[in-house]
Every structure is written in structure tokens, then in C-alpha cells.
Structure 1
Amino acid sequence: MVILPAIDIKDGKCVRLVQGKYDTAYTVAESAADTAKAFEAMGATWLHMVDLNGAKDAMPVNTELIFDVIKQCDLKVELGGGIRTMETVDYYLENGISRVILGSAALNNPALVKEAVKKHGDKIAVGIDARDGNVAAEGWLQTSTVNYIDLAKQMEDIGVKYIIFTDISHDGMMDGPNYTMLDKLNRAVSCKVIASGGVSSLTDIVVLTALKLHGAICGKALYTRDLSLRQAVDLCKGVRTE
């Protein structure tokens, strides 16, 4: 299983949110580039980044900082937040991003996902964030009536290879991810599923590995040091390849 440490950017700073609420944002690191280099030194190969301002404004905002991170480390970077057009997809992939995450666009504009997958293949991931089982969008500020499994199957039919799933109620709560929803999703589609939200201990890593998920995104627990990135990476070595 692949461990992806997370860096969320808001107003040019590395922050964390609680349950996706923007008014809970607090700074966890001064430098995104230095944080990325530290993650790399601990054995990470992938980095998960989110432009929180972009997610809220429906357009790229913190691009300069994101590209600075790419230049200063050798990590593969997957990026989400504010990616709503093919121009933005192309722009990021042409400038060093390894995988872009379409979230709100998957719900509101599946034609864009289809076009992006046709052009870029497995460099396109879809982020499905759920509140009470229904998909949330627009920086988690809106909740739809679409069930997360139904959207995942629609994305699978389009050709999406990677799905990043978050149960919003667990995000930033340090109480573990929603194993039941993740397992149900992983069994429902052939896509590679990456867990996000609530991953806070080595026990979580063990369980997610046992559920045969492709990856786990780790955020708050790394900054509070409740989870050792090096130990998590070492635990996953040889268990599953990228």
C-alpha cells in the first residue's frame, strides 16, 4: 500500500481543517517545500496536495507555492482543488504534477472527467468526499443527493483508475477512517481506492492494508506526531506496489 503524506494549502500556508470546515483552519507548518522534503527524507514517494482556496474559488489559486514544492523535491505529487477545466488539467500535468484530482467536476461535469481520462489516462484521479453517504462538492460546502458508490461506478465506467475517498465526518478527527465505507467502495469498483480522512495510527495502516486498498493519505496525525511516516512507509514496504 502507498502512503501519501498530505499538504493542504490555504492563503499560502500549510494548514489542516476539521471535517472540511474552512473556519477551523490552523497552520501546521511554515514552509510547504521544507515539509515535502522532510516527508521525502522519511521514505515517502508520493505527496498529496490540495489547493483549498482553489477548491472554494473553483480555480487555481496557490500555483506558485505548489510548483515550488515540485522543484524542491523528487516526490510524485497528486493535486486537487479548483481543477474544473481541461486547460487547468493540462497546465498542471505539463508543469510537473504527476496526477490531478477531479472532485466537484466529477459530480457536476462528468464530461470533463471523460475527456481528461481519454487524454491523460491514469494521471487522472477522482476525489469522492461523502457526508452521510452522499457526495459533497465545492470545497465540501455543498452536499448532493448522489450516493458515493453510485458516483464511483459512474467514474469506473468512464475509465477512471484512481478514486480517493473521504468520509468527511472522520476528516481531521483522529478517530480512524471509515473502514466500512472504504471496504464497500473497494469491493464495488475495480478502481484503485485511496483512503483519506481520519488515518491516525499504525493500526489504521494495518487495517487498510488488510482491506487491500491501494493507498492511504495521512495528514493531521503526521503533524501531531501521533503517526510516524517512516514507520508507516516501512510497514507497507513489500505489501503492495504502486
Structure 2
Amino acid sequence: MIILPAIDIREGKCVRLYKGIFEKSEIVAESPVKTAKSFEEAGAEYIHVVDLDGALKGEVVNIKAVKNIVKNVKVPIELGGGVRTIETIDKLIEIGVKRVILGTAALNDKIFVKEAVRKYDDKIAVGIDAKDGFVAVNGWLDISKVNYIEFAKLMEYIGVKNIILTDISKDGTLEGPNFSMLQRLKESVKCNITASGGIKSIDDILKLNDMNLYGTIVGKAIYSGNVNLKKAIKRSRD
């Protein structure tokens, strides 16, 4: 399992949210580039980046910050937030983003997902952000009536190989991930699954590692000092 340290960008700065509430965003670092470099130095194999402004506006907003990260680190970057068109994916791949995450667009436009997967295959991931088991969209502001398992199965059928599952109620809480939710997803699809939301300790990471997931995204636990990224990466490889 790989550990993907997270950089959430809002107005060009690194922030963390609490349960997806934008009003409760907290600046955790001024420079996304410096943060990405620190992750690279700690041994990160992949970095997870979210354009929070883009998620709200429906288009990638912090493209300059993303470019600067890609330019200054050798670690591959995955990016989500506001990706709604093939042209946007083209642009992100062109500037060096290695994997593009579809969220709201994946739920609203299945033809778009098919086209993206056909063109870019495993460079496309789908982020399933769920609240009470139902998929949330538009920067987590709107909750659909679509169950996360049903949605994951549909994405797998379309050809999506990577799914990132976030339990919104756990995100930014340091309360531990929703292991049962992740287990149900793992039993339902054959896609690579990345866990996101709630990681509080290296023990959480090791438990997810034992579940044979593809990856886990760690954000607040790193910024708060609960998890030492370098040690966590080493422990997960032992």
C-alpha cells in the first residue's frame, strides 16, 4: 500500500477542512511547493492534491499552484477538484499531472467518464465522497440519492481502475477511518481502492495496509504531527 500525503489548495495556500465544511478551513501551510518538497524528502511515492476552489466553482482554479508543484518535485501528482471536461484533463496531463480524479462529473456525466477512461485509462481515478453512504457532489455541498457501492460498481463497469473513497463524516476529524465502509467497497469491486478521511495514527495506516488496499491519503494527521510521514512510509513497507 502506498501513502499519499495530501495537499488541499484554497486561494493558493494549503488548508484542511473539517468534515468538508469550507467555513471551517484552516491554513496549514503557506506554500504548496514547500509542502510537496517536504513530502518528497520524506519518501512519498505519490502526492494527492485537491483544488478546493475548483471543486466549488466547477473548474480548475489553482492551476498555477499545481504547475509549480509538478515543476518542483519528481514525485507523481494526482489532482482532483473542478475537473469537468476532457479539455481540462488534457491540460492537466500536459502540464505533468500523472493521475486526474473525477468526482462530481463522474456522477453527472457517465459518457464523459467513458471518454476519459478510453483516452487515458488508469490515469483516471474516480473520487467517491460519501455521507451516510450516499455520494456527495459539488464540493460536498449536495448529497445525491446514489449509494456509494452502486456507484463504484458502475464506475468499474465503465472501466475505471482507481477509486478513492472518502467518508465525509471522518474527513479532517482525526477520529480514524471508516474501516467497515472500506471493507464493503473492497468486497464489492476489483478496482484499486485508496482510503481517505480520518487517519489519526500510524496504527490506522497499518490496519489499512493489512486490508490490502492500494493506498491511503493522509492529510491532517501529518500537519498536526500525529503521523510522521517518513516513519509511516517505512512501517508500511516492512
For residues 236 and 120 of structure 1, what CA distance do their matches in structure 2 show?
29
Post-superposition Cα deviations, 1:179-223, rounded to whole Å, max 9, x if no partner, equal: 000011011001000000011211111110111111000000100
1:129-168 equivalences under 5 Å are 129-168=129-168
Report the equivalent of 1:4: 4
Q: Which runs of 4+ in 1 moved over 4 A?
A: none
- Work out the number of aligned pairs and report it: 238
For residues 161 and 199 of structure 1, what CA distance do their matches in structure 2 show?
23
By how many angstroms is 1:161 displaced?
0.4
By how many angstroms is 1:2 displaced?
0.4
Report the equivalent of 1:63: 63
AA in 2 matched with 1:178? N
Report the secondary structure of 1:172's partner residue.
coil
AA in 2 matched with 1:135? V
Report the equivalent of 1:106: 106
Instruction: State the TM-score, normalizing by the size of structure 1.
Output: 0.97
AA in 2 matched with 1:227? V
1:197-212 equivalences under 5 Å are 197-212=197-212
For residues 105 and 131 of structure 1, what CA distance do their matches in structure 2 show?
18
Report the equivalent of 1:225: 225
By how many angstroms is 1:75 displaced?
0.9
| Residue 34 (structure 2) pairs with residue 34 (structure 1) | yes
For residues 14 and 226 of structure 1, what CA distance do their matches in structure 2 show?
18
Report the equivalent of 2:122: 122
**Contact between 2:70 and 2:95, CA under 8 Å: does it hold in 1?**
no
Question: Aligned Cα RMSD in Å?
Answer: 0.7
Report the secondary structure of 2:169's partner residue.
helix
Post-superposition Cα deviations, 1:25-82, rounded to whole Å, max 9, x if no partner, equal: 1100011101100011011010000000000000010000110011111110000000
Post-superposition Cα deviations, 1:119-162, rounded to whole Å, max 9, x if no partner, equal: 00000000000000000000000000000000000000000000
For residues 126 and 204 of structure 2, what CA distance do their matches in structure 1 show?
22
AA in 2 matched with 1:109? D
For residues 212 and 106 of structure 1, what CA distance do their matches in structure 2 show?
25
For residues 110 and 194 of structure 2, what CA distance do their matches in structure 1 show?
20
Report the equivalent of 2:24: 24
AA in 2 matched with 1:18? Y
Could you tell me which runs of 5 or more consecutive residues in structure 2 were left unpaired when the two chains were aligned.
Answer: none
Report the secondary structure of 2:4's partner residue.
strand
AA in 2 matched with 1:44? A
For residues 236 and 123 of structure 2, what CA distance do their matches in structure 1 show?
23
Q: Matched residues, percent identical? A: 52
By how many angstroms is 1:235 displaced?
1.4
AA in 1 matched with 2:167? D
By how many angstroms is 1:102 displaced?
0.1
By how many angstroms is 1:226 displaced?
0.3
Report the equivalent of 2:81: 81
Report the secondary structure of 1:157's partner residue.
helix
AA in 1 matched with 2:16? R
Report the equivalent of 1:96: 96
For residues 195 and 69 of structure 1, what CA distance do their matches in structure 2 show?
23
AA in 2 matched with 1:201? S
For residues 200 and 104 of structure 2, what CA distance do their matches in structure 1 show?
26
For residues 65 and 129 of structure 1, what CA distance do their matches in structure 2 show?
24
